[in-house]
Amino acid sequence: MKRRTFLSAAMATTALLPMLANAQTALPPAEPRDWSGATPLRYPDPDLIALDRSFQRYILFNTPIRRHHTGTLWAEGPAWNGVGRYLVWSDIPNNRQLRWIEDDGRVTEFRNPSGNSNGNTFDNQGRQISCEHGGRRVVRYEYDGSVTVIADSFEGKPLNSPNDAVVAPDGSVWFTDPPYGIRGNYEGSQAEAELPFAVYRVDPANGGISRVTDEIGAPNGLCFSPDYSQLYVADTGSGREIKVWDVDGSRLRNGRRHVQLTLPGTDSVTSADGIRCDVDGNIWAGARPGVQIIAPDGDTIGVIRLPEVCANVCFGGTRRNRLFMTASQSLYSVYVGVQGAGIA
């Protein structure tokens, strides 16, 4: 009898081991904090959380997560302008773009109307590129102030609602086209989707548009690996995963799951929205409960916990070591121990 009891206990302990391993990655409880910045907090910032020792190098001991602005309805599309030293981002439902200026930290309304813009970036010449829900198009703002439509249709049918864009070294613009901007009248105008949800590439030489993949539920954020040999795309549709493809010139090959995120410490699947790579190849993803940092092998090694749902991120600042986070009603940033890959 005693022996059986012992065996049962031993088996129970063994069965618990995976749960314990999982529990170790659970986040410590959030402490209340004053996000206005009026009450300084004790370093290190308790919401910069290492889930793996390898993330420690990216946490700066003496820097806080800061909230720069509150007042948007749904914030996305942060992009850093290195010449102007400002961060532009979109307030999609309010049909405007805002700008946080590094000089003195003020925020101004940069563009209104914005065509319900979502993702923004800058090309290799510093020109702003924006994905518009309202116009169902991708546009480029030129030096003389005019607007060039880069893409608004494919094979004679209107795009759904371009969501996010990145620029390759050859000047090609790669963008995602899910239906989120036409599902209602809040972030754009309600309409029926006429094209599959897909990723496109705009050729820099002739402006031609090619569909590089539609093997994805609903493509959302995207980014290249630091050497541009791979393209990561967040699927917020049926897949709920980050997929990766090998970039072969103007084509994509060998699409596969890179990672499916969970809320750390649980089995609850969560999606990434916007993603950006750092120079070490880690992906910084807008994903509950703020930002998840995913090592090249797919492990989530750290979390930046925010009090709001974070959609998109980008690296900025003169040294590209400041992570900007557009999170629902607010804009946040934090200096980190690594630089962003790419220019915007």
Smallest separation, CB 187 to Mg ion (Å): 11
Strand, helix or coil at 21? Answer: helix
Of the pair 244, 310, the CB lying nearest Mg ion is at 310
Select 47 or 273, whichever has its Cβ closest to Mg ion.
Answer: 273
Is residue 273 a contact residue for Mg ion (CB under 5 A)?
yes
Q: Say whether residue 163 binds Mg ion (CB under 5 A).
A: yes
By the rule CB under 5 A, 220 interacts with Mg ion:
yes
Q: Which residues contact 268 (CB under 8 A, 6 or more apart)?
A: 262
Distance CA 67, CA 72 (A): 13
**Per rule CB under 5 A, is residue 292 in the interface with Mg ion?**
no
Q: Which DSSP category does 168 fall into?
A: -
Measured from the CB of residue 175, what is the shortest distance to Mg ion in angstroms? Answer: 11
Q: Which residue is nearest to Mg ion (CB)?
A: 220
Residue 309 Cβ, how far from Mg ion at the closest point, in Å? Answer: 12
The residue behind tokens 């541009």 is 228
Candidates 5-13, 66-74, 158-166, 298-306; binding stretch for Mg ion (CB under 5 A)? 158-166
Total residues at the site for Mg ion (CB under 5 A)?
Answer: 5
Residues 6 or more apart in contact with residue 154 via CB below 8 angstroms = 195, 200, 209, 211
Q: Which two tokens stand for residue 327?
A: 């999170």
Burial of 180 (0-12, 13-18, 19+ CB in 10 A): buried
User: Binding marks (x or -) toward Mg ion, 180..219, rule CB under 5 A?
Assistant: ----------------------------------------
Output the CA angle 120-126-132, nearest 5 degrees.
25
**Contacting positions for Mg ion (CB under 5 A):** 163-164, 220-221, 273
